[in-house]
Amino acid sequence: MPPTSRAHPLHNPAPITIDGVTARWPIVIFDIDGTLVDSVGLIVASYQHAFRTVLGHEEDEDRIKGWIGQSLYGSMQRAYPDQADRLFEVYTRWNEEHTAAMLSSFPGIPELMEDLVEAGVRIGAATSKRTQPAQWALQLGQINQLVPLLVAHEDVDEHKPSPKPLLLAMVRAGGSPDRTVYVGDAVVDIAAARNAGLDCVAVTWGAGKREDLVEAAPDVLCDTVEELRAALL
């Protein structure tokens, strides 16, 4: 099944072809959690542990998933401002202890990244994760060598849906809005891409509900890694 496209036209940059493989966008910037690596279960469990420990109760899982993609501390501060520091401390400790066991790559993603590199695509990641956990996630996902450019939490003073992380990644990749696409799994990713003036591909295997992603109207919506491959190559 081909990926779902929006009715309005994309930027349609001039494609690049290397060894018979054509890339639709010369620069592809990815979200990490729920897009490149299977980490949503880990994130939800880390939140719930922090809430149980600090507040004595768990939180609605859908509400937690709605925070994924945004700043971790910022989400905690907005939800529980008086307890944000303690929540962040407990979350971070538990998350670090369980990351190696609970985080993995999505089947087909490492191979797709290799194909993008072979096609001459410049790849980067723009995430709200802090640098060290982001690098660790890429390593556990077996794609750290394929993502040479990383814009993480510490690199910008505003986070998604702000366009700043995406634009910084684009600039560091030597790109421009008409030659760059952002790939993410959450409504906040689509909003950040729109705010940055970039095309956006949304994937449905992460934190976002498919109906919410459809309503947010990405340029392309992909339900499988093969559909993402068809969208990018």
For residue 121, being part of any structural domain is answered with yes
Give the model's pLDDT for residue 10: 56
Strands 27-30 and 122-126: parallel
Q: What is the mean pLDDT of residues 176-198?
A: 97
Query: Which of 85, 102, 119 is the last residue before a domain boundary?
Result: 102
Strands 37-38 and 149-151: unpaired
48 and 90 inside one domain: yes
- φ/ψ of residue 82, rounded to 5: -75, -20
Does the pLDDT at position 12 exceed 80? Answer: no
Percent of the chain exceeding pLDDT 70 equals 91
117 and 205 inside one domain: yes
- φ/ψ of residue 37, rounded to 5: -130, 150
26 and 51 inside one domain: no
18 and 70 inside one domain: no
Confidence of residue 4 (pLDDT cuts 50, 70, 90): low
Q: In angstroms, what CA-CA distances link 171 with 80, 119, 196, 224?
A: 35, 20, 12, 29
CB of 75 closer than 8 Å to CB of 67:
yes
Q: Is 124 helix (H, G, I), strand (E, B) or coil?
A: strand
211 and 145 inside one domain: yes
Question: Closest Cα to residue 182, out of 17, 70, 167?
Answer: 167
Q: What is the mean pLDDT of residues 61-83?
A: 97
Q: In angstroms, what CA-CA distances link 89 with 26, 46, 133, 215?
A: 40, 11, 14, 35
Q: What is the pLDDT of residues 215-231, one digit of tens each?
A: 999 999 999 999 999 99
Q: What distance in Å separates the CA atoms of residue 9 and residue 18, rounded to the nearest whole number?
A: 25
- φ/ψ of residue 183, rounded to 5: -115, 125
Which amino acid type is present at position 145? Q
Does the pLDDT at position 5 exceed 50? Answer: no
Does the pLDDT at position 87 exceed 50? Answer: yes
Does the pLDDT at position 38 exceed 70? Answer: yes
Give the model's pLDDT for residue 21: 57
CB of 74 closer than 8 Å to CB of 115:
no
Give the model's pLDDT for residue 23: 84
Q: Domain range holding 92?
A: 40-102
Give the model's pLDDT for residue 149: 97
Give the model's pLDDT for residue 7: 37
CATH code for position 81: 1.10.150
CATH code for position 170: 3.40.50.1000
Q: What is the pLDDT of residues 131-155, one digit of tens each?
A: 999 999 999 999 999 999 999 999 9
22 and 49 inside one domain: no
Q: How many CB atoms sit inside 10 A of residue 80's CB?
A: 16
CB of 3 closer than 8 Å to CB of 230:
yes
Sign of the four-CA dihedral 164, 108, 113, 143: positive
Give the model's pLDDT for residue 72: 97
Q: What is the mean pLDDT of residues 73-87?
A: 97
CB of 138 closer than 8 Å to CB of 110:
no
Does the pLDDT at position 99 exceed 90? Answer: yes
